Structure 1
Amino acid sequence: MYQFHIEDMTCKHCEATVTKAIQTLDPQAQITIDLGKHEAQVSSSLDRETLLNAISDAGFTPQ
């Protein structure tokens, strides 16, 4: 399980965009997003770097 802080993820549209970006690469990924904390928890077979790139390519700045 990976945890990412995504400060610029602020609304339901952002949540959907991040989820789609990850699930496009790994349809089996389990994603839990807390908009209040700007955090995403991701359980995926992909490595952390690939997930970071997917979120970045969607227009966000994950940490």
Structure 2
Amino acid sequence: MIELNLPDMTCGHCASTVAKTVALVDPAAKVEVDLDSKRVKIQSAEDRQDFAEALTDAGYPPAQ
């Protein structure tokens, strides 16, 4: 399970964009977006760094 904190995720549109971005990296990934805590949980065999880079490119860089 990959868990990322996305401080720039502030609304439903952001959450939708995050879910779509994860799907671009791995269409089979299971995604849980928690807008209140600004966290996303991803169940995937892909590398955490691949998701971090894609989310950064989409405007939602994970906090370190």
Per the normalisation by structure 1, the TM-score is 0.93
1:3 maps to 3
Residue segments in structure 2 that go unaligned for 5+ positions in a row: none
Distance 1:12 1:58 in 2: 15
Per the normalisation by structure 2, the TM-score is 0.92
1:49 maps to 49
Distance 2:55 2:15 in 1: 11
What secondary structure, in the 3-state scheme, does the structure 2 residue paired with 1:60 have? coil
Residue segments in structure 1 that go unaligned for 5+ positions in a row: none
Shift of 1:61: 1.6
| C-alpha RMSD over aligned residues | 0.8
Give 4+ residue runs of structure 1 displaced > 2 Å after superposition: none
Query: Percent identity of the aligned residues?
Result: 37
